[in-house]
Amino acid sequence: GKHRNLTARAGEDRNPVLDDITGTVYFLSERDGGTFNVYQFPVDNPSQAVKLTDFKTHPVRFLSRANNGILAFTYDGEIYTMAGRAARAAARAVRLRCLPSAGVYIHMSRVTEEVWCLRHSSSNPFTSW
């Protein structure tokens, strides 16, 4: 297939997520001179990018989209969800379940805002999955 640059501009755009039903691309960008925020544009008209969040202090990270259209991302160590352009992003509580009896542990890093599931066994002390 043929590749086409949709965000040909100076600066960084990353983590694109496509809604293949509406043809909308959601992505993270540093445009507008700020930190990473969530933007969207129609796949057939990338010049119509619209800013969906307006965080100032820290970058938005780890953008994803569920099949029902809800966007999820992290900001300042919190997990947020957002449904549609008119919706406000809202922080969500997340329940993580550790299973130490099965050798499963959760590791969370506040520095990189990442979460790993780790399995401990005698042959392989910690394996990420």
Cα–Cα distances in Å, from 114 out to 76, 104, 108?
Answer: 12, 17, 6
According to DSSP, the residues that pair with 122 across neighbouring strands are: none
The rounded percent of the chain whose pLDDT value lies above 90 is 33
Whether the predicted pLDDT of 48 surpasses 60: yes
Residue 129 confidence (pLDDT) above 50: no
Q: Which residues sit opposite 120 in a β-bridge?
A: none
Task: Please tell me which residue, 4 or 65, carries the higher pLDDT value.
Answer: 65
Q: What is the mean pLDDT of residues 116-125?
A: 55
**Residue 102 exposed, middle or buried by CB count within 10 Å (0-12, 13-18, 19+):** exposed
Distances (CA, A) of 117 to 8, 58, 78, 92, 114: 37, 25, 18, 20, 10
Q: Which of 14-23, 95-104, 117-126 has the highest mean pLDDT?
A: 14-23
> Is-contact 7 13, C-beta < 8 A?
yes
Whether 107 shows a pLDDT value over 60: the answer reads no
The pLDDT of residue 100 is above 70: no
Q: Indicate the pLDDT class of residue 45, thresholds 50, 70 and 90.
A: very high
The pLDDT, as a whole number, for residue 42 is 95
